[in-house]
Amino acid sequence: MNLAKFFNHDFDNGDFRLCNKNGNIVYFEASNAYWGKSIFDKNNNEIYYESSNDYWRKREFDENDNMVYYEYSDGYWCKIEFNENNRMIYSENSIDGIVFDNRPKQSYNDKVIEIDGVKYRLQEI
């Protein structure tokens, strides 16, 4: 990218940085030409980052600013769900396959089903 050169930045004063109106660093460059850039959502959550070494990450957030998904350039990803109290109730990831599931389970107790014209009421035992 080399924006520092375009702006005649003196690296003796430190890395070159560009910030958005909220003070988030949206671009930086080091003296060795390493650079990184970020995109932020309206709530200042970083939703995308990439760098000059081909690394990137994506993130998604819910309406309460809980990170509900992230993915890295190496293929790793993670999904997360939160309840109405912002407590994590579900997660799974691509590495170890471990699933944490504490979501409320639907009860079928007293549900009526029909098989071959005969109605049955389900009951938990």
What's the pLDDT tens digit per position in 57-102? 999 999 999 999 999 999 999 999 999 999 999 999 998 878 888 8
pLDDT at residue 39 tops 90? yes
H-run or E-run covering 29: strand 25-29
pLDDT of residue 1: 56
CA dist., res. 112 & res. 55, Å (int): 53
pLDDT of residue 102: 85
b/e per residue, 16-35, with b = 16+ CB within 10 A? Answer: beeeeeeeeeebbbeeeeeb
Task: Name the domain count of the chain.
Answer: 1
Q: Work out the pLDDT band at 48, boundaries 50, 70, 90.
A: very high
The number of residues making up the chain comes to: 125
Domain of 93, in residue numbers: 3-121
